[in-house]
Structure 1
Amino acid sequence: MRRRSVLAAAGVAAVSFPGAAAASSPAVARVRTGMDRLAAANWETLQGQRVGVVSNPTGVDRDYRHLVDRMHEDGVTIGGVFGPEHGFRGSAQAGGSEGTGVDARTGLIVYDAYLASLEQWISMFTASAVRTVVFDIQDVGARFYTYIYTLYDSMAAAARLGLRYVVLDRPNPIGGRAHGPMMTDGYTSGVGRLKIVQQHGLTVGELARFYNGEFLSGAVDLQVVACRGWHGRLHAADTDVPWVLPSPNMPTPDTAEVYPGTGMFEGVSSLSEGRGTTRPFELIGGPGFDYHWGDRVSAQGLPGVEFREAYFTPTFNKFTGVLCAGVEVKVTDRSTFEPIRTAVAMLVEARKEPAFAWRLDGARYWIDLLTGSPRLRTMIDAGATTAEVNAAWAGELAAFDKQRRPYLLYPRSGVRSSSSGTDSLFAGSGSLSSGPGS
């Protein structure tokens, strides 16, 4: 083989803004998650109630003890557990679930909630006779990561049944900045159901408040147990929050950093996004590519990232058992790295290769579903530059950034939540009584 360089809030303390940490910074912030805070309060707000828990393996304390196991041991009445994609205990691959059954450790009924319709959620909540729903799942900050739709659907069902909904918040592992294009009418799907931008920059608690205010008309009796010690410039590697892989192909915080961008390579049939390797979404390549692609991307001088010439052979998914040439995406500075801008540059240069092909899903292009419209695809096909493609969504991104501000619980650079600095356990309610951010 010839040489190929395939490319490589309430409960939020007042925070000052130190210089943003680089990828190699040793500084670590102490952060208490919503679970940590509710457990420290001895689950007081859940005592005497029948509780349903929506969670997966990420719902752990700093000793890696799971929320459900701890609540069960401490005598909280759990009527049922609801498992999203990959399952409650995390034994299923992408696009799979564990089914409905009895949890071996606790003896609790676990309901299969993956791809459940609103009526199915209502049926599961009714069968389990729960009156309060608790959500604790680590999101990774991208619109096409499915747990945020598990959040929305279960909230909608809770609203229909008049149930209380409690979110135990966790940090957004890639920080609080929003980037990328907005979802548009006609392109919603299981990888993009709601009108938010591709990298939303919200925690799940903030997303729940956004959903309740923008999509559910305040119908949910919502309470968020906010994190303490987190702000929008902190990424997962900057905190002491334990990392549990949220899904089989999201093994490390490094994966989460690149995912809102390189996840778009799921929409390219001629390039593997690294599934079936130990570095999914960081290794990108295909059998018809060589070092010229990576060299052209490197020449763009993108901030906070370098590209290592890489070769890999996937063990499953695209190109199983076939040697692929490409790059490993190496984030060198989290504070300046932009995953979507970076991936757009990679797509722009990859499109120049004869082997390049978009992935068709029936009559639709998968990239259109991932990005929310045909715009990115048609611009790249027409020869647009990286700068031109990224500039195309500047207006809608600015509008979304303004739209989300009333729902923020944690400081961002230049934007502070009005709930910052208080010590109440709960942040916000169905009426958003904690007020908008300024």
Structure 2
Amino acid sequence: MQKLLLISVITFTSCLSQTQEQAPDILPGAYQLESYLPLIKDKKVGLTVNHSSLIGTKHLTDTLQSQQINIVKVFTPEHGFTGTLSDGEKVEYDSSEASFELVSLYGKNKKPTEAQLANIEVMIFDIQDVGARFYTYISTMHYVMEACAENDIQVIILDRPNPNGSYVDGPVLDTAYRSFVGMHPIPIIHGMTVGELAQMINSEGWLANGIKVDLSVIKIKNWSHSQIYSLPVNPSPNLPNDLSISLYPSLCLFEGTIMSVGRGTEHPFQQIGHPEYPDTMHYFIPTPNEGAKWPPYEDQKCFGRSWVGQSPQYSFSLQPLIKAYQQMGKDDFFNDYFKRLAGTNLLQKQIEEGQTEAQIRQSWEPALLEFKLSRKKYLLYE
């Protein structure tokens, strides 16, 4: 485990030094040791974790091992255990470096197999989410819950604040467009923590064949949905600060277009651009880096729009997308991935037809209202 933990500590230290210090009274579920250690004592434990699974600056694996908890296997989501791998990059581990087996749940192996779950009696899920439907950590959580339900394994969610948890917005997913970047009939910004969403997934029968998992949620202390939460560690390589996290729900839709969102620069998800964008006041040049090995338009000058230096914007807007479409004026502006990100085929049609944001919002309001009413049953933090 030495090599992995060394990488992790370096990552944690650099991230902590770059982010705003948190109020000490907001304590994620992982901090509530007294609530979950009795549930896992003398049991064979599996963990679904990554670099964000921290108690202070110490990783959850280290904390549990110091408490003589028997960790038999660790599962990791997209971006790997250290959270540094590029989007779409294959995750491979040499388990001889660790005191337990490491298994990637990204790529072809998204759902734990029966063999991979053998000898596990309880599974802990502790990963920092950002509250957007297409952020794949919640899809990994779904498959972990489903596999554990099928194998009679208890799941414990160590809950963490949702930095975009103060509002709910966007079109609700049409299940005809269900994919790994959108598995549930929820809006783009669902306004729930992973613990709240896990309860909804379980109770609404969204797991395969309506199966239910034995689920426990260890709550956050001293946090509510109205509180803005600055993450103490970058949740993934291309969300480096509060501004990118707040813009992510709006700007991620550009990943289904010909535009770049600034991958391969110092400001991903804080700017958009394209080599042929007509407004040339702002530009950036993508180059490969740790979190973006294959950035779109590598080494090309991309003109566009920047939000760098602005305050975080905790709201969802279609205006950047509508404006970029109108300015580019290209028939191939959207690609097939856009429908999966949007969770519907209607949004692209509406933008192409020239509808305003207000008109588009009216079309998704009934389903959004229905979701909000259903969501209330699962909220743990008023």
From the superposition, tell whether residues 207 and 232 of structure 1 become closer, same or farther in structure 2 (CA, over 3 Å): same
Does the 8 Å CA contact 2:153/2:214 hold for their aligned counterparts? yes
CA contact (8 A) 2:175 2:184 kept: no
Q: Hey, what does 1:4 align to over in structure 2?
A: none
Could you tell me which of 183, 188, 211 is aligned with 1:198?
Answer: 188
Describe how 1:14-413 pairs up with structure 2 within 5 A. 28=23, 30-38=25-33, 43-62=37-56, 64-102=57-95, 104=97, 106-115=98-107, 120-126=112-118, 129-214=119-204, 215-216=206-207, 217=210, 219-237=212-230, 243-269=232-258, 271-291=259-279, 310-316=282-288, 317-329=295-307, 337-339=314-316, 341=317, 344-354=318-328, 356=330, 357-360=332-335, 365-411=336-382
- Counting matched residue pairs gives 353
Could you say if the C-alpha distance between residues 26 and 380 of structure 1 is closer, same or farther in structure 2, counting changes exceeding 3 Å?
A: same
Structure 2 vs 1, CA of residues 354 and 165 (structure 1 numbering), >3 Å: closer, same or farther?
A: closer
Instruction: Give the conservation status (yes or no) of the 8 Å contact 1:117–1:153.
Output: no
Counterparts of 2:194 and 2:96, CA distance in 1: 25
| TM-score after normalising by structure 1 | 0.76
Equivalent pair of 2:172/2:343 in contact (CA under 8 Å): yes
1:332–1:233 CA distance, 2 compared to 1 (3 A): farther
Question: What is the rounded CA distance, in whole Å, between the counterparts of 1:29 and 1:349 in structure 2?
Answer: 41
Structure 2 gap ranges (5+) = 1-19, 289-294
- Aligned-partner residue type, residue 300 of structure 2: V
Q: Decide whether the 8 Å contact of 2:156 with 2:217 is kept in 1.
A: yes
Q: Deviations over 1:49-79 (max 9, x none)?
A: 10000000000012x1110121122210011
CA, structure 1 residues 116+231, in 2 after alignment: closer, same or farther (shift >3 Å)? Answer: farther
Q: Which runs of 4+ in 1 moved over 4 A?
A: 25-29, 116-120, 330-334
Q: Which structure's CA Rg is the greater one? A: 1
- The residue type equivalent to 1:273 in the other structure is V
> What CA distance in whole angstroms lies between the structure 1 residues aligned with 2:111 and 2:194?
23
Structure 1 residue ranges without an equivalent (≥5) = 1-24, 293-308, 412-438
CA pair 32-218 structure 1, distance change in 2 beyond 3 A: farther
Report if the CA contact (8 A) 1:311-1:325 is conserved: yes
Question: CA offset at residue 46 of structure 1?
Answer: 1.3
Quick one: structure 1 residues 226 and 120, their matched pair in 2 at CA, closer, same or farther if it must change by over 3 Å?
closer
Are residues 103 and 396 of structure 1, via their aligned partners in 2, closer, same or farther at CA, if it must alter by over 3 Å? farther
State which drifts further: 314-323 or 143-152. 314-323
Q: Deviations over 1:319-378 (max 9, x none)?
A: 1111111111258665x7423x2xx11121122224544243xxxx21111111111110
Tell me: higher relative CO, structure 1 or 2? Use CA pairs within 8 A at least 6 residues apart: 1
Instruction: Report how far residue 29 of structure 1 moved.
Output: 6.7
Report the secondary structure of 1:194's partner residue. coil
1:116 CA drift (Å): 5.4
Give the residue type in structure 2 aligned to 1:114: Y
Q: Tell me if structure 2 keeps the 8 A contact 1:35–1:169.
A: yes
Shift of 1:42: 8.0
Q: How big is the shift at 1:135?
A: 0.2
Superposed displacement of residue 390, structure 1: 2.2
User: Structure 1 residues 65 and 403, CA, compared in 2 at 3 Å: closer, same or farther?
Assistant: same
Counterpart residue type for residue 36 of structure 1: Y
* C-alpha separation in 2, matches of 1:288 and 1:404: 42
Judge conservation of contact 2:36–2:218 (CA < 8 Å) in 1: no
C-alpha separation between the residues in 1 aligned to 2:38 and 2:71?
A: 14
Aligned residue for 1:414?
A: none
Say whether the 8 Å CA contact 2:156–2:216 is kept in structure 1.
yes
Preserved contact between residue 187 and residue 372 of structure 1 (Cα < 8 Å) = yes
TM-fit CA distance, 1:41: 5.6
On the 8 A contact 2:325/2:333 being kept in 1, the answer is no
SS in 1 for 2:58: coil
- Checking the alignment, whether the CA contact within 8 Å between 2:53 and 2:128 is kept in structure 1 is yes
- Give percent identity, aligned residues only: 31
1:79 partner SS: strand
Displacement of 1:141 in angstroms is 0.7
